[in-house]
Amino acid sequence: MASSDNLKVIILGGGIAGLTTALALTKFAPAGKVPTINIYEIRPEPATIGGAVNLTPNALRMLDALGALPIIRERDYGHDIDYLEIFDAHSGKIAESSFRGPEGKGVGTPPYKALRITRGDALKGVLAAIEAQPNITMTCGKRTIKIDETADSVTLTFEDGETATGDLLMGCDGIHSVTRLKHVEPERKATYSGVSNAFGFAPIPKDFKVHFQCTAINFARRGMLLTSFHSSARDSVYVGGLMQVADIGSRDGWKAVGGDAEATRKQLLERFGDTKIECIVPLIEKAQDFFLWPVFTLSKEGKWSTNRVMLLGDAAHAMPPQGESTGIVFEDTVLFARCLTRWIEKGQPGGNMKEAFDAYEKLRRDRIGVAFEESKNVVSTVSDAGWFGHFMKTTIVPWYLWFTHSYREKHFIEDVTKVDIGY
């Protein structure tokens, strides 16, 4: 239990980044020095809607350490993935990417495979873990209009006139982060990547035949379509298309276009309707609640912190999805919590929290830089291509997966809850 002289932490953002940050700061806190954590979310309630994500072995390892994975398992959320299957939508299967490990049980010690899970179910599992922590509270429906930082504290002013003051502010409020835009680096704004994600969920009968074991990545000449089970019932398929879409030019414009489910369905049928894989068109036709979501990015370089404010996740380094995006956010939260814990253990020398911030950034910048470069390859891979460009893409993908297998597995095995933070 936090005491009055322990750190008072404010977290902006009640999504997966903010919640796992709260859990990590709690888990890694020194004995007797658990911080008081207040989470503020702009929405009237936690957003348990969205697409389906792939939690890689390192992501599952961290969720396990934070106490959320046992809840996710107990509630039977998600669908285990032994391997991803990669298809050319016009000719058939071209490659696999395995999570089975040398003995078929997963990678790392203990071994983990991967889990395809809806964002909503992942958030529900983490929320349940949050509810078991008496030092953490969350307040929804709070819009921040001002951030004031002094040498000793950070104060938020909300639209309703109320304020909140803490020793540390964590900006976990996403790509359009208020923490970044109102305080840390207002000039660093999100830019549209040129690609958008169209997603929905297709209910299917038991006798419906699909071409994949759990998850298929289907490359076509005008985009990539992900088709995947996301629960053990196997009665629904997540359908997500990543494709090149012209910039609408405004957030209101994107909301209007994104909310037109039938227009989005029509786009996907135009792009993937000539596939030779029989189940794809029926899945697109069956999918419900289609939504088009533009993918925004931030520049690779940029300011992540001030003396008492730190940005994590998409607020600091948003990038197109590259297979490990959610795991990268979890790594952020755990590594930052460990750096802050070390600073507390050292007796808070001079009260300068920036020492912990600098240690975290030194540890993290290179990894984010590599991931950012990888994400640029995703954009080029899903952009519109002619016949020859598509042929080259589907020829290179299997080779690329083989060439990078050792690198990716090394990262899946890495345990950032224990890795030397050099501080």
Q: What is the pLDDT along the chain (423 residues), one digit of tens a residue?
A: 334 478 999 999 999 999 999 999 999 999 999 999 999 999 998 877 778 999 999 999 999 999 999 999 999 999 999 999 999 999 999 999 999 988 999 999 899 999 999 999 999 999 999 999 999 999 999 999 999 999 999 999 999 999 999 999 999 999 999 999 999 999 999 999 999 999 999 999 999 999 999 999 999 999 999 999 999 999 999 999 999 999 887 777 887 887 888 989 999 999 999 999 999 999 999 999 888 889 999 987 899 999 999 999 999 999 877 666 788 899 999 999 999 999 998 876 556 789 999 999 999 999 898 888 888 777 888 888 888 888 888 898 888 888 887 777 888 888 899 989 988
Cα 107 from chain centre:
21
- Structure token pair of residue 94: 């071209």
Distance CA 40, CA 310 (A): 15
Distance CA 14, CA 331 (A): 17
Select from 151, 144, 164 the least CA-distant residue to 38.
164
Distance CA 149, CA 179 (A): 12
Give the full edge-to-edge strand order of the sheet including 136-140: 136-140, 36-41, 8-12, 168-171, 309-311
- Per-residue CA distances from 217 to 97, 146, 209, 226, 335 (Å): 10, 43, 17, 5, 31
- Structure token pair of residue 246: 């012209």
Where are the extended beta strands (E) located within 230-359? 236-244, 288-297, 309-311
Distance CA 68, CA 70 (A): 6
The domain ranges of the chain are: 8-190+298-413
Q: Which CATH architecture has domain 8-190+298-413?
A: 3-Layer(bba) Sandwich (3.50)
- Structure token pair of residue 44: 């009237």
